[in-house]
């Protein structure tokens, strides 16, 4: 119940998985291709990729034959970093003001502490997964499904 998976993060992860698949080719992937493949509204995905670029997770190449590439190897990109990039900036500010509001009262401060502990636990999980891990896991699953099919 407590951990949210926003539409934003989901779209971004799907897009990054696509980029991770073609990472070794060094060829950029275009918004259109990704949005068609993963059924994501292209104009919206554009915004997300721009945010990821500003966050240093993705590189972009402008002009004809342009597109997006991962800025680093999939092994070096954690899920926490991704979601922090997308929701982190304003969310972090939001969190600060929430903490401030709560800490005005003693009880509120205690509650905020416990919630931060829970939050930290969830973050640690996401910290320990990389894009590569997701790819590997998906490939393994696909193999398994194939074997069952036969």
Which residues are at the interface with DNA (CB under 7 A)? 6-8, 11, 28, 30-32, 40-44, 46-47, 49-50, 53-54, 60-68, 87, 90
Q: Decide: is 99 part of the binding site for ligand FES (CB under 6 A).
A: no
* Distance spanning both ends of the chain, measured CA to CA: 37
Residue 96 touches which member of ligand FES, a copy of itself, DNA, none, C-beta under 5-8 Å by kind? none
Stretch that binds ligand FES, among 11-19, 26-34, 36-44, 87-95 (CB under 6 A): 87-95
Residue 61 touches which member of DNA, a copy of itself, ligand FES, none, C-beta under 5-8 Å by kind? DNA
Give the DSSP per-residue string, 69-123.
Answer: EESS-GGG-BHHHHHHHHHHHHHHHHHHHHHHHHHTSHHHHHHHHHHHHHHHHHH
- The residue among 39, 134, 12, 25 whose CA lies nearest residue 69 is 25
């Amino acid at each position: 119940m407590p951990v949210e998976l926003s539409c934003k993060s989901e779209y971004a992860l799907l897009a990054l998985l696509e980029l991770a698949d073609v990472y070794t080719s060094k060829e950029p992937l275009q918004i259109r291709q990704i949005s068609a493949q993963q059924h994501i509204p292209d104009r919206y995905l554009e915004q997300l990729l721009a945010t990821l670029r500003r966050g240093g997770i993705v590189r972009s190449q402008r002009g004809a034959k342009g597109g997006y590439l991962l800025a680093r190897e999939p092994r070096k990109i954690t899920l926490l970093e991704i979601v922090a990039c997308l929701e982190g900036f304003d969310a972090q500010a939001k969190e600060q003001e929430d903490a401030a509001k709560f800490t005005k009262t003693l009880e509120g401060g205690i509650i905020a502490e416990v919630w931060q502990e829970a939050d930290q636990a969830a973050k640690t999980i996401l910290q320990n997964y990389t894009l590569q891990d997701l790819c590997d896991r998906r490939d393994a699953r696909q193999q398994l499904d194939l074997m069952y099919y036969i």
